[in-house]
């Protein structure tokens, strides 16, 4: 019943927005704020529907495919929101960078930090699969350097941008690396991404699916797609309202990326925190580090394609303070996930870095 209600409300909102068309342009501040709040509620409710269906698929397909499906669905929503702003007509050269960097900071510092604190207080030391975390970081670190640090030091262009040849080449390299990672995650090294005690069972031949399970998978997959589409279709209007509101309030430019990242990550973040609270740290690691890897591995090439289509310049290189923050976060992640257990100390360190990031937004 709840699933049907989500779908009905989501698609009704899409129909209403498209039917109103130009009538929604030039609204007074109060109606505009109410419209933004309404669209935000619908999008978040639909996003939680995406999480619910992804969880059902996770039970049917088992890990790590379950969290991978959720991660890819969230990336699709992220790309839709960023593209909506970029294609909206206003030049926003740093929006993609700010949003992707915000995702990294929220995931790698905010959610990881809070999750490790919650898990540490509830369960003491928590175990996870070290090989899986190491595999994620082995992908995240080079992708982060290529996307956010290298553009500041290339000679072909200035101002944190890349030449067309560099954009195309780096996008291809990024996609290739992420594709290899997916092959490892879903292939012969699938056991790296399972709970430590489940590794031996993971390498045994898979049992045949019970009769009728294929139909359940198809049904939940169809509902997942139907839940994502309203978010994608409503994202352009939400992005326009967000952009207008931030401009009217003279808010920092980077705040737009943060708000988009929060909207995108809310369902996945809550799912990760629930998993860690239930002492399923490996699922939390898969969700958090998987979101970081897919954000760079898939969103960067998508943003570059959108910039080429819309003939817009995009700035990928981070300012100096953010470069230091990113480098520190990556080093901290390698230390946090260098053993087989975590404690509240690691959580506190990550949260401090997250609060530093928030401070720099309002006081650069």
Tokens of 209: 């699916």
Count of domains for the chain: 1
Per the CB < 8 A criterion, the answer to whether 325 and 155 are in contact is no
In the prediction, which pLDDT does 173 show? 93
| 212 pLDDT higher than 60 | no
The model's pLDDT over 236-251, given as tens digits with 9 standing for 90+, comes to: 777 777 777 777 778 7
Q: In this structure, what CATH number is given to the domain that contains residue 357?
A: 1.20.1420.30
The model's pLDDT over 108-118, given as tens digits with 9 standing for 90+, comes to: 999 999 999 99
Please give the model's pTM, rounded to 2 decimal places: 0.84
In the prediction, which pLDDT does 204 show? 46
The model's pLDDT over 11-20, given as tens digits with 9 standing for 90+, comes to: 898 888 878 7
**Residues whose CB falls within 8 Å of the CB of residue 275, separated by 6 or more in sequence, listed in order:** 281, 283, 284, 287
Boundaries of domain holding 138: 2-362
Distance from C-alpha of 275 to C-alpha of 55, rounded to nearest angstrom: 11
**Residues whose CB falls within 8 Å of the CB of residue 3, separated by 6 or more in sequence, listed in order:** 49, 52, 53, 223
Maximum mean pLDDT: which of 91-95, 155-159, 221-225: 155-159
């Amino acid at each position: 019943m709840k699933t049907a209600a989500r779908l009905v409300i989501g698609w009704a909102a899409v129909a209403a927005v498209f039917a109103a068309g130009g009538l929604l342009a030039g609204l007074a501040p109060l109606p505009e704020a109410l419209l933004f709040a309404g669209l935000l509620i619908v999008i978040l409710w639909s996003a939680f529907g995406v999480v619910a269906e992804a969880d059902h698929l996770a039970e049917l397909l088992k890990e790590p495919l379950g969290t991978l499906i959720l991660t890819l669905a969230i990336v699709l929503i992220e790309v839709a929101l960023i593209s909506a702003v970029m294609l909206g007509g206003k030049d926003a050269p740093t929006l993609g960078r700010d949003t992707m960097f915000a995702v990294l900071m929220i995931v790698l510092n905010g959610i990881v930090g809070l999750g490790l604190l919650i898990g540490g207080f509830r369960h003491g030391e928590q175990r996870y699969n070290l090989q899986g975390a190491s595999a994620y970081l082995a992908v995240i670190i080079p992708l982060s350097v290529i996307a956010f640090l290298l553009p500041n030091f290339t000679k072909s262009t200035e101002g944190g941008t890349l030449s067309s040849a560099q954009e195309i080449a780096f996008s291809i390299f990024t996609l290739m690396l992420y594709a290899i990672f997916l092959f490892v995650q879903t292939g012969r090294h699938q056991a790296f991404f399972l709970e430590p005690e489940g590794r031996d069972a993971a390498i045994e031949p898979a049992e045949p699916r019970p009769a009728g399970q294929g139909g359940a998978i198809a049904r939940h997959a169809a509902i997942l797609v139907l839940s994502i589409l309203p978010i994608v279709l409503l994202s352009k209007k939400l992005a326009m309202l967000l952009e207008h509101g931030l401009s009217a309030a003279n808010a920092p430019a980077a705040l737009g990326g943060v708000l988009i990242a929060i909207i995108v990550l809310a369902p996945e973040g809550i799912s990760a925190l629930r998993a860690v609270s239930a002492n399923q740290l490996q699922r939390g690691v898969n969700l958090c580090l998987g979101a970081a890897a897919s954000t760079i591995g898939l969103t960067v090439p998508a943003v570059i394609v959108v910039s080429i289509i819309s003939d817009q310049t995009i700035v990928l290189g981070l300012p100096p303070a953010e470069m230091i923050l990113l480098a520190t976060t990556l080093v901290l992640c390698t230390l946090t996930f260098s053993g087989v257990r975590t404690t509240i100390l690691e959580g506190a360190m990550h949260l401090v870095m997250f609060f530093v990031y928030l401070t720099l937004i309002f006081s650069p």
